[in-house]
Amino acid sequence: MKKLQLIAWLILTLAFGTLPATAQEKIPDWENPAMFNQNKEKPRTFLIPFRSVDEALSQDKKQSVFYKSLNGMWKFNWVRKPADRPVDFYKPDYDVSAWDEISVPSNWEIQGYGIPIYVNHQYEFADYKAPVSDEIEFVDDIYPANPGNVPDDYNPVGSYRRTFTVPESWDGRQVFIQFGAVKSAFYLWINGEKVGYSQGSKTPAEWDITEYLQEGENVLAAEVFRWSDGSYLECQDFWRISGIERDVFIYSSPEVRIRDFFATTDLDAAYKNANLQLEVDLKNHTDRLRSGNYQVAFQLYDENQELVTEESQDANINRKKELQLSFSEEILNPKKWTAETPNLYTLVIILKNEDGETVETVSHRIGFREIEINNTLFTVNGVPVLIKGVNRHEHNQYTGHVISEEQMIQEIKLMKQHNINAVRNSHYPAHERFYELCDEYGLYVTDEANIESHGMYYGDHSLAKKPEWTAAHVDRMMRMVERTKNHPSVVVWSMGNEAGDGVVFTAGYKAIKERDPSRPIHYERAIMDDNTDIFCPQYPGVSTLKNYASERRPKTMIASEYSHAMGNSNGNLVDLWEVIYREGNDQLQGGYIWDWIDQALVKTDENGTEFWAYGGDYGEGMPSDENFVCNGIISADLTLHPAMQEVKYVYQYVRFEEVQNGYKIFNFHDFIDLSDYEISWTVSGNGEKMYAGVLENFNIEPQSSRIINPPYPNFTPEPGVEYFIDFSVKLKDDKPFRPAGFEVAQDQFEFEMYVQEKTETPEYDALQLTENGNMLEVTGINFTIQFDKNAGTLASYEINGMELLQKGPQVNFWRPPNDNDKGSNMVGRLGIWREVTNKVAPSSVESSQPEPGKVIIATHFNHEKVSSAQTVNYTITGNGNISINTKLAVGNDELPDLPRFGLKWELPVNFDNLEYFGRGPHENYVDRNRSAFVGNYSGKVADQYFKYVRPQENGYKTETRWFELRNENGLGIRVSGKPLVGFSALHNPIEDFDMIDGNDYRHTNDIVKKDGVFVNCDLKMMGVAGDNSWGARPYPQYAVPAKDYEFEFTIQPVF
């Protein structure tokens, strides 16, 4: 039945994908949108034959005796343009002995051949801002005039050669070759005979090469074009690099073989029992199709490899080229697959000949689950689920688009540890192994077709509106569907990204639905129209979410991209999820953070130092969108960004709320209760633990809540002590990637019982105030403080002969722009405050000694550029303490927001032992600090720096009560807020992280440790923002509007 339903797609493919050469002789294949397949096998599920059921159950496909990898070193030749390629290299007698060797898989640009290019919207070969060839013409100076055309004068071609032998045990069998991914188009020859041609760089290209083989050594040749008409559909926001990117292998099958299968699991109305429906496609390769008849059986095994059910049918394939068999079996109450409960069964399909001999066995793990749109909601097994997702590109800092299984596992480990339950493959299908791992460990996957034509945008020029591009689009969609249709983790099909909408996607939507009606379709550019089942906008903010939730909509919302994680970002993430979690907002079903990993590449500078490179760091005159390729919540080396802790917090499944009669605990799991978790609580005062306990025999069903009252004793608050209760949720037993005791959720609440300390006026030892020219000197017992009247700040702070300062406090309104600041033109909007900071000079300095043990130095500043005035008062007391009070009086109502309001100073480099009481331990900002709990933390100053790909603001801590910086002997200073400050302490000044203008792109190797500890201490700094990186600013509640401010802190020596 489904074969009949696919007639439309097949007609498109036959009509446009395999036109005879005579119809295309004027257009090279690589510039013909109608030519994308020659002689390729139909797409199918990833299967490798085994000899027996026992071997098939091993699931280690690469260990099959019918599998042989061709990965390794291949002979390689690279040229800059097609006219220079060695056209006869495919002939076996062509001498390639002098050629270089290249690793397969690899991207040739990463191996030193050609130039890696990064652009976002535009085509790298047709970027109107920086064209690489004069051959490309543009309409309206933006749109390529002839989509499909690529440059002839600059289109690198890689010619690959290697030899291989076929195992003798494969005699009499069909032999196939598969290229997992090749960018962007290539021809294949075996022993000098042309086998075929392929486009579509992120799905497998497979050919039957049986008739091309010879005994002994065979010569394989592949000719890869960097750009083709297919590149017009591959305008994704990633490195534009080329080559054979995934595995190459050969495998063999019997002459009658299992070509493909499709297993679906339809659950009953109660989502208890299942109807396993299985379609098995056979292919007959025998001479004149005289194969005799066969039998097909399937067996289903549970996780213990115990047989659950089996069934067989006769396969009357004799004299038939193909045959499809259908099975249907009721499975009573199977264990269900979800991301929370990734229960898998192994399906084994067995092909036997007329003599009852097993000729082929294949296997695949499947899961019983039902994906539906119920009452507009996206549901799994009848339950609406929240998508706590990330967008994932395949990226490795050393190998580009070539990803190892070890890295895939490490990525999934980090996702599971941080409560991420979903991945959108952006914007192309992933390596086959990734789906198997998502099946096993439990991640919902939106599988996305390798389609993005962003450079044509969405109007009249969009390829989505051009019928002649239909077949190429639909082919990519269906090759994705056919390959991963049996993976339970794949819950949504995406037709692509940022490619406009029109007749092309209408055809694609229809083709996918006819083949697989069991999954919804996601396509962002369809917005609320018919070509998507889910409203999947990009970068909604709080107001958008609230508006969408204000009335019942025809589609549920799952944001395809949100919280743009470029650099120091992901501000107001909690604000977004507070709307999503709000009761009644069931049509807000989460989304996918953009994105998962910084796509930086490792490069080495002239000193041999490795650094992270981004767009524009390779070649001269190449198009570039600079560091816009680095948007991850993990770094290119898989180091967690500090923002990942906020992601873990907002995504956590156990949530807490303070209510009138205690604390409400919510179980936001969709399918599991809390019996596997231990929930503990701790009461602390000023960071010191007072009481603690565990909730005994405690459990909550999924999507339910309970109110609890931790049984701590009543106590009388002490003056000056802040009291908090912390909750922690930990695993009782080991789970994949999370050992027993692993913390999955936490929260903190402050007791409203603070008692102010009584203020007493102590008697201080007498001070001596002297003035010598422009220098004021205050001397006390064992300390001397000097003040430079010209500079308007402290010049020296000496305790027992030890200098505590290298530079005194200076007025500071500026913070180094993060990537969101750059995108919102912070330098242009707020740059006046940097000018003020850089040109601060006192208008007057006054000193007084109102009592023997107190000296006051008042410094006045006239900030003429902003028509404002500021005072900084230093009160020095006989115990060596310095209290600093600063007031800003704004004299202009039209001033822009302040980036920050604070002071900065410098300590000796060895004062590098940090301890503080405030929010931590990770970097946090006013709009990204809910995961950073108030406590006592300590560490080295060097560890406070976070290495963002483009150096920028970093290392900050909010709501700090006090912080200390000490040297190796324990001598140092304590800074105490009155009441709270924000601070950073780094081995580099803010100038090292600054961005002078929009073209100031620095790199990690520019940050070299300086001879000092550079301290910033603020009343407030604006948030980092995060809704997007091209205009979004911090929300108003996280901004620092230009108005009058005052704050105070004390510096005291500590020993």
Catalytic positions: 498, 561
CB atoms within 10 A of CB 67: 16
**CA-to-CA distance for 567 and 1030, rounded, in angstroms?**
13
By C-alpha distance, which of 477, 470, 420 is closest to 448? 477
SS3 category, 445: strand
Half-sphere exposure of 154 (CA within 13 A, CB side): 12
**CA-to-CA distance for 761 and 873, rounded, in angstroms?**
19
| Token pair listed for 297 | 């059986």
CB atoms within 10 A of CB 1036: 8
Per-residue H/E/C for 832-846: HHHHHHHCCCEEEEE
Per-residue H/E/C for 563-617: CCCCCCCCCCHHHHHHHHHCCCCCCEEEEEECCCECCCEEEECCCCCEEEECCCC
**CA-to-CA distance for 403 and 259, rounded, in angstroms?**
28
**CA-to-CA distance for 48 and 61, rounded, in angstroms?**
6
Stretch (H or E) spanning 666: strand 662-667
Task: Please count the residues of the chain.
Answer: 1055
Determine contact, residues 388/744, Cβ cutoff 8 Å. Answer: no
In our burial notation (b when 16+ CB lie closer than 10 A, e otherwise), range 520-543 reads bbbbbbbeeeebbbbbbbbbbbee
CB atoms within 10 A of CB 871: 17
In degrees and rounded to multiples of 5, residue 533 shows phi and psi of -95, -15
CB atoms within 10 A of CB 911: 24
| Token pair listed for 392 | 């994932």
Determine contact, residues 749/723, Cβ cutoff 8 Å. Answer: no
Query: Residue ranges of the alpha helices (H) in 897-954?
Result: none
In degrees and rounded to multiples of 5, residue 531 shows phi and psi of -85, 25
Q: Where do we find the tokens 């003429």?
A: 864
**CA-to-CA distance for 776 and 572, rounded, in angstroms?**
46
Tell me, what amino acid is at 334? P
By C-alpha distance, which of 484, 11, 10, 498 is closest to 232? 498
**CA-to-CA distance for 261 and 858, rounded, in angstroms?**
82
**CA-to-CA distance for 812 and 985, rounded, in angstroms?**
15
Torsion, CA 501, CA 502, CA 503, CA 505, rounded to 10: 10
What are the angstrom distances between the C-alpha of 380 and each of 58, 340, 519, 935?
29, 11, 10, 40
Q: Where do we find the tokens 């097993």?
A: 358
**CA-to-CA distance for 828 and 235, rounded, in angstroms?**
31
By C-alpha distance, which of 219, 200, 199 is closest to 209? 219
CB atoms within 10 A of CB 617: 19
CA end-to-end span of the chain, whole Å? 83
DSSP code string of 760-800: --PPPPP-EEEEETTEEEEEETTEEEEEETTTTEEEEEEET
Quickly count helices (H) and strands (E) in the chain. 13, 60
> 578: which residues sit within 8 A by CB, 6+ positions away?
none
CB atoms within 10 A of CB 410: 14
